[in-house]
Amino acid sequence: MADTPDLTALIAPEAAALGFDLVRVKLFGGKGDLTLQVMAERPDTRQLTIEDCADLSRRISDVLDALEAEGRDPITEEYRLEVSSPGIDRPLTRLKDFADWTGHEARIVLAAPIEGRKVLTGLLKGVTDDRITIYVQKHGEMEISFAQVGTAKLLLTDALIAATRPLSLDGAEEIEDELVPEGTEDEGLN
């Protein structure tokens, strides 16, 4: 199963009401193992807290339960609802994602091959209108339209980890120093 536009239309207003941007809604799995995956983020931090996930999960459940009570259930089989942040090596599902993550490495799987390539792995260089530029090593810059993207995600790199490091960890070294008793810094764990 794939991205589900009807479910996205139902869920997007619930995410927006909480101040979140919806990243992806995907229904996947088979009979007896169906999962409705919802990824969202706060526009300022690009993450959600556990409480944020719980709030969004409750809102989605309430909407889907109300539709079921009216006999208009969009998912007729049993399913598991999974609400989360997109994570560090996040999917790139919106054109703005490619612009926001310019300068980072990504893997783009194309809907159809271009110049004999179905997968483009390289450095995102930018977005102009609906066109994405990616630098593919040993090939150079390639420009594709957003419509040509099948799936895409960021690749886990040191630069990406540094760019997504939570603000609360900026002083982690100072906090760690306060937690280590004096005279034990050089003692190893056995």
Which residues have CB under 8 Å from 111's CB, separation 6+?
Answer: 147, 148, 149, 150
Predicted pLDDT at 151 = 96
Predicted pLDDT at 166 = 63
Predicted pLDDT at 169 = 45
Alpha carbons within 13 angstroms on the beta-carbon side of residue 146 total 14
CATH 2.30.30.180 residue window(s) in the chain: 95-164
- The fold for domain 5-84 equals GMP Synthetase; Chain A, domain 3 (3.30.300)
* CATH superfamily of this structure's domain 95-164: Ribosome maturation factor RimP, C-terminal domain (2.30.30.180)
- Tens of pLDDT along the chain (190 residues) come to 345 559 999 999 999 999 999 999 999 998 889 999 999 999 998 889 999 999 999 999 999 999 999 999 899 899 999 999 998 889 999 999 999 999 999 999 999 999 889 999 999 999 999 999 999 998 999 999 999 999 999 999 999 998 877 644 444 444 344 444 444 444 444 3
In our burial notation (b when 16+ CB lie closer than 10 A, e otherwise), range 101-132 reads beebbbbbebeeeeeeeeebebbbbebeeeeb
Predicted pLDDT at 57 = 98
Residue pLDDT, tens place only, 148-177: 999 999 999 999 998 877 644 444 444 344
CATH 3.30.300.70 residue window(s) in the chain: 5-84
Predicted pLDDT at 165 = 75
